[in-house]
Amino acid sequence: MARPATTIESVQAALDRLHHAVAAGQSRTRCLRRWSEMVRERDDHRCVDCHSTRNLSAHHICRKVFLPEAEFQTGNGITLCRDCHVGLHRGFNGRPDTTEPMDAQGGEKLRQMERLYCILDQDAVERDRLQPGFYDLSEQVLAKFKLFMGFDPDTVFPGPPVRQAYLIWAQTSLSVRRAIAAANGAPMTDGPILPGEAYIVIGGDAGEQVGMTIKDPRWY
Ligand SMILES: [Zn+2]
Ligand SMILES: [Zn+2]
The 10s digit of each residue's pLDDT in 104-133 is 545 678 888 989 999 999 999 999 999 999
Closest ligand to residue 119's CA? 1
Low-confidence ranges of the chain (pLDDT < 70): 1-2, 91-107, 186-189, 196-220
- pLDDT of 220: 36
Distance from Cα 53 to the centre of ligand 1, integer Å: 8
pTM above 0.85, yes or no: no
What three-state secondary structure class fits 90?
A: coil
pLDDT of residue 200: 47
Report the alpha-carbon distance of residue 35 to residue 207 in Å, rounded. Answer: 53
Q: Which residues surround ligand 1, an ion (CB under 5 A)?
A: 47, 49-50, 52, 81, 84
Query: For 92, phi and psi rounded to 5 degrees?
Result: -145, -40
- How far does residue 212's CA lie from ligand 1's centre (Å)? 31
Cα gap 26→33, rounded to integer Å: 11
CA of residue 210 to ligand 2 center, whole Å: 37
Q: Please state the domain extents for the chain.
A: 8-90+105-171, 174-220
Ligand nearest to the CA of 43: 1
pLDDT value for 94: 45
Q: Are 212 and 199 in contact (CB under 8 A)?
A: yes
β-bridge mates for residue 198, sequence order: 213
Angle (CA) 53-138-8 rounded to 5° is 40
Q: Which ligand is nearest to the CA of 87?
A: 2
Please report which ligand is nearest the Cα atom of 93. Answer: 2
The rounded Å distance from CA 90 to ligand 1 centre is 16
What is the pLDDT, as a whole number, of residue 150?
A: 86
SS3 string, 113-143, reads HHHHHHHHHHHHHHCCCCCCCCCCCCHHHHH
Contact 215, 195 (CB under 8 A): yes
Q: What is the pLDDT of residue 123?
A: 95
Ligand 2 centre distance from Cα of residue 69 (Å): 16
